[in-house]
Amino acid sequence: MRIPIAHPSHFNFPEILRFLSRSTRECLHYVEDGHLFKMIAVQEVPLLMDIRYKEGAAYLDVDVIKPDPVPMEWAAPALAAAAAPVQALLTRWLHLDADLRPFYTFAATDPVLAPLVRDYHGLRLVGVPDLFESITWTVMGQQINLAFAYTTRKRFIETLGYSVEHGGRTHYLYPKPAVVAAAQPELLREMQFSRGKITYMQNLAQQIVQGQFSAALVDDAPDFETAKAALVALKGIGNWSANYVLMKYARYPQSLPLEDAGLHQALRRYHHLPGKPALDEVKRLTAHWGPHAAYATFYCWHSLFEV
């Protein structure tokens, strides 16, 4: 089934693919010959999206495919209902509903950001379209380097996620909260998660299963501070994790993960600092970003992949 998805102006699919190719340990999507492949569950049925873009076209071309092991009697109604879920997932994941013009106008006057928006023009803030995935990913990444975070995440997905074989590859869906809540802590320890991280992730999963926490607490929050309060009330979620989730999932443009090591690295490079900036200096250097903080941070992160 083919679904055309309109994209906005200032859209750079090759640069988005470059960002999505940053880790060889990624297993929820893969990029091959200009195509982006990702699984989606529609009516609890796993389907595979093949997303591609022809230069100059006004839309993304998405083929929604029945994976080989999925019976057609399951797949047929899911395929018939796939258009709206595919549109919603791609819009949230690739930030197709964002207007980049205000950020570009602001960045053009900033000596750090101006060359970045020139080099990466049309790059969208690639997000994490599921709240449980977004929160658990921040927990996994706490106090370790990005490469090891991806390693533990890959083990987590491959062990607890749903998978199907198709086209000579294994395709995964992120583990469901119920599966994570029921997992033996020893199994998670084998993935090299600390006991603290295991507790945080399983507590969150249990709260979701029991109805004590839901995406509505973030999605329906009236403002940034209310949404942030809902997140920091969770055990193991501090300012950095909350701002990451509000940036990558909830899409608050003022989200600023001040404590982020990658942001510190970029600021040190572009401001020619002698060492890692202190938090007060990070605040000073980013104070003027205001409602553009999320995109400014993301473009700084992306620039680090050049080296």
Q: Which residues pair with 42 in a beta bridge?
A: 45
User: Residues spanned by CATH 3.30.310.20 within the chain?
Assistant: 2-96
pLDDT at 307: 46
Task: Look at domain 108-123+254-307 and name its CATH class.
Answer: mainly alpha
pLDDT at 305: 87
Indicate the fold that domain 128-252 takes in CATH: Endonuclease III; domain 1 (1.10.340)
- Answer for the pair 218, 230: CB distance below 8 angstroms, yes or no: yes
Burial degree of 71 (CB within 10 A; 0-12, 13-18, 19+): exposed
pLDDT at 79: 97
Query: How far is the CA of 170 from the CAs of 19, 39, 48, in angstroms?
Result: 21, 10, 11
User: Residues spanned by CATH 1.10.1670.40 within the chain?
Assistant: 108-123+254-307
pLDDT at 3: 97
Pairing of the two strands 45-52 and 59-65: antiparallel
Task: Look at domain 2-96 and name its CATH class.
Answer: alpha beta
Phi, psi (deg, nearest 5) at residue 48: -110, 130
pLDDT in tens, the chain (307 residues): 999 999 999 999 999 999 999 999 999 999 999 999 999 999 999 999 999 999 889 999 999 999 999 999 999 999 999 999 999 999 999 999 999 999 999 999 999 999 999 999 999 999 999 999 999 999 999 999 999 999 999 999 999 999 999 999 999 999 999 999 999 999 999 999 999 999 999 999 999 999 999 999 999 999 999 999 999 999 999 999 999 999 999 999 999 999 999 999 999 999 999 999 999 999 999 999 999 999 999 999 999 986 4
Distance of CA 106 to the CA centre of its chain: 24
Number of CB atoms found within 10 A of residue 184's CB: 9
Torsion angle (degrees, nearest 10) of CA 59, 106, 89, 33:
50
The whole model's pTM is what? 0.95
In the structure encoding, which two tokens stand for residue 305, read together? 């992949």
